[in-house]
Chains A and B, each alone.
Chain A
Amino acid sequence: MTTPCPYSSRHNGGATGAPAIELKQLTKVFPGSSTPVLNAIDLTVPAGTIFGILGPNGAGKTTIMSTLCGLLKPTSGSVHICGSNAQTERATIKQILGMVPQEPAIYPTLTARENLEYFGRMQGLSGEHLQKRILACLDVAEMAGEADKRVERLSGGYKRRLNMVIGLIHEPKILILDEPTVAIDPHSRSLIHHRLRELHAAGISILISTHQMDEAEQLCQEIAILDHGRVLVQGNVSDLLSMQASETVQLQIEGDPPADLTARLEHIPGLLEAHVAGQCLTVVTVRPDRVMIPLMQAMQDYGLAVRSLSFGTTSLEDVFLSHTDGKRASR
């Protein structure tokens, strides 16, 4: 049973009227490389949303996060956080942002409370206010009982929770999380999701990078799919799902489909696109009603038994796969 979130932001997420994060034509080329890691990215994270950045490894997610925090200088383009320029107003944006790195960035030989106290002081907190914030963060992480244990003796789940709440110690307007639930127990994962929703309800804008499609589907209102340093698609999650769903038919096939199956289906009138992932054949069409009969006939001709068929339903993974050539995704 999760207790109510004791976090209440001193900020109102959308009070300034400016987007939480706005990237314009953001390009980053590392010295010695000719290929841009980020290639003219335009991205807008509306204030008060949970925004997911999805993308395979090497897509440029971490580079975007480092640029947002002011740790990397863009080659060209601009980054604005709540209307402040990330390059020229670094001190301001550092106060606005709360960063949660992928790996627990904490001191293992200090206790959870000492870690919170140290990073709190580094954020300029002190005295009674700091002590209140430490207690609030320990409550958010549900680890009041573990507060005085050294971090090295805590489980991976507790470390992840502590890692997250350190990012909240100074009550940021925007929380940035890099893969916050990788390799974590289900209880801690559920708690982190729950707390993120509560933080969102309290007015915090949240930017989360993740590989996990179900996580993005459950948490995010908006997503951007990134690959090879470009934004392939950006939009509201439910819009993207419904757009994809209205045009797709999915068939679960028994046994392994032949490698050239999609090529063999090209002659079916009205079929725009077909791709295979494992034993799942996904067909994109503007007229599913016309495609069904020749599609089933083709399955029979190729000796493939259809175990199940779904029509008009899809997941974020399908959206992701359809935009990234079906590569490198995990569920």
Chain B
Amino acid sequence: MMDNLTKFWASIAKEARIIGRDHQALFLFFVMPVLFVLILSLALRDAFGDRPGATFDVLMVSQDPGEVTQSIVEAFRSNSHILLTQSNTASEAEARQWLIDGRYRFVVLVPPEATAQAERRLGEIMAKVPPELRMEKPVELVVMADPALRSDFRKVLEGSLDLALHGVEMKLGREQLQQTMRATQGENYVPLPDMEKSRLFEPVRGETVTREGSGPTPTSVQQNAPAWTLLAMFFLTVPLSVSFIREREQGSLFRLQTMTVPAWVVLGGKAVPYFVINLIQMASILAVSVYVLPLLGGDRLELGNAPLALLLIGGSASLAAIGFGIAVAMYARTTEQATSFSSATVMIMAALGGILVPKAVMPPLMQEVAILSPLSWGLDGFLDVFVRGGGVQQVLPEALSLLAFSAVCHGVAIMRYRSQT
């Protein structure tokens, strides 16, 4: 046994030397995934989570000094996601061009005298003028949106606008009612209570529910850091399987088979350095997401409070990836076969597992299918820690699934290796 352990360590040292001398591979292993996470986390910063920094440039053109303009301004200003610019001189054509140029994502044009028109229409309504005889039509605002604006954000903006206009209707209606009451009740007039200070409902404030009470909601970096860590881990199956096949082609694997070297020494000696590379990849991606990303204007990655759980899920994902790579190497006959098969399979597993497209935006059926992908198990495990405040116990199901996948792959690979010797 000691003899085999010595051989095992020698195999690890040999593989580490070979990898260490391949500078291009090292660049691909460590720099590329980090760059990927940085770029994607910054690019998709506003597509995830509830972050105050996610803003939409909104233009409001109005020459109406009245209640309509004030209410809309007030509503938009109270929303931290909206960066409002006001103009009282721009034309509709200019506003449309600015939208096309990308200066604004959303434009609201309030017609001149909108408040006065609304008041006149309200007067007719209060006077019970039949609709067909009313002189004033409802005030029509012109609203334009950037086609690249996500439909859910657009709905939010339109909803905010509608809410503001409802507020105007309520306020003008109340004022009109008070005037009528004052005129009819004379000295007995009692002002209506201030409804703004006596609301019937508490303002709606959603609570984010996590395992340990309230916590942060997932942000771009919380999705991207684990997602690209997992993708980088699984993409290591390509160089791993190629390295095996190259050894076979060079004849060094044949030479080892003529010696008393057990299969686990050959396969394990190859796997351990790649396992260490995976862990370094994970540590570097997480470190960059915590310390570098905020400096570039991105969100800081909240790691949660369970480093052991992170290590467990990361280590399990790495073993799953390595097992898959070794199994591919044992069955592929050429490096071309190994490269194309493993990269295509990893991309499919990534697409399926919520790496390329977050599972949250997938339709329900696809979300159920996603469970087939080992990358999905890994991602769920990371999100358990980052977002839902989970610990070792919470990531255990995902970690065990990954370890079982790894065991099956390694078992298949060892059987194949033994059948060749």
Residue numbers of A with Cβ under 8 A of B are: 69-71, 91, 94-95, 97, 99, 101, 103-110, 114, 117-119, 121-124, 126, 150, 166
Residues A121 and B258 in contact, CB atoms below 8 Å apart: no
7 nearest A-B residue pairs (beta carbon): A105-B251, A121-B10, A105-B255, A99-B258, A69-B258, A101-B251, A118-B14
- Interface residue tally on B, bucketed by range: 20 to 34
Whole-angstrom CA separation of A70 from B22 in the bound complex:
34
B10 near A166 with CB under 8 A, answer: no
Complex Cα distance, B8 from A121, in Å, reads 9
- Does B55 interact with chain A (Cβ within 8 Å)? no
List, in ascending order, chain B residues with CB within 8 A of A114's CB: 14, 17
The answer for the CA separation of A119 and B250 in the assembled complex, in Å, is: 14
Q: Is the CB of A97 within 8 A of B258?
A: yes
B21 within 8 A of A: yes
Please state if B17 and A110 are interface contacts (CB–CB under 8 Å).
yes
Which B residues contact A (CB, under 8 angstroms)? 3, 6-7, 10-11, 14, 17-18, 21-22, 247, 250-252, 254-261, 421
In contact, A71 and B255 (Cβ under 8 angstroms)? no
**Are B251 and A122 in touch, CB under 8 angstroms?**
no
Please judge, given known A-B contacts A110-B14, A122-B7, whether A103 and B260 are in contact too, CB under 8 Å: no
| A121, chain B: closest CB distance, angstroms | 4
- B251 x A103 contact (CB < 8 A): yes
Residues of A within 8 A of B254 (CB): 71, 101, 105
Taking A114-B17, A124-B3 as contacts, is the C-beta distance between A104 and B251 under 8 angstroms? yes
Inter-chain contacts of B421 with A (CB < 8 A): 70-71
**Max chain B C-beta neighbours (<10 A), residue from A71, A94, A110, A122:** A122
| B9 and chain A: residue at smallest CB distance | A121
**A109–B21 contact, CB under 8 A?**
yes
User: Does A99 contact B255, Cβ atoms closer than 8 Å?
Assistant: yes
Contact residue among A110, A118, A124 (Cβ-Cβ distance under 8 Å from B260) = A124
CB <8 Å contact, A122 and B261: yes
The answer for the CA separation of A198 and B17 in the assembled complex, in Å, is: 34
Q: When A94-B259, A121-B10, A122-B259 are in contact, do A109 and B251 touch as well, CB less than 8 Å?
A: no
Q: Measured between C-beta atoms, what is the minimum distance from A177 to chain B in Å?
A: 13
A105 to B252, CA, bound (A): 4
Could you tell me if A107 and B18 are in contact, using CB atoms closer than 8 angstroms? Answer: yes
By a CB distance below 8 angstroms, the chain B residues around A94 are: 258-260
Instruction: Contact check, A106 vs B17: say whether CB atoms are below 8 A apart.
Output: no
| Chain A residues whose CB sits within 8 angstroms of the CB of B252 once the complex forms | 105-107
Q: Cβ of B21: which chain A residues have Cβ within 8 Å of it? A: 109, 150
Q: Are B250 and A107 in contact (CB under 8 A)?
A: yes
The docked-state distance in angstroms from the alpha carbon of A97 to that of B10 is 22
Report the nearest A residue to B14, measured CB to CB. Answer: A118
A122 to B8 alpha-carbon distance, docked (Å) = 9
Closest Cβ–Cβ distance, residue A39 to chain B (whole Å): 24
Assess the A106–B10 pair: CB atoms within 8 A. Answer: no
Looking at the assembled complex, report how far the CB atom of B247 sits from the nearest CB atom of chain A, in whole angstroms.
Answer: 8
14 contacting pairs across A/B (C-beta < 8 A) = A70-B258, A71-B254, A71-B421, A94-B260, A101-B254, A104-B250, A105-B252, A105-B254, A107-B18, A107-B247, A107-B252, A109-B18, A110-B18, A117-B10
A105 to B256: give the CA distance in the assembly, Å: 10
- Contact status B255-A166, CB under 8 Å: yes
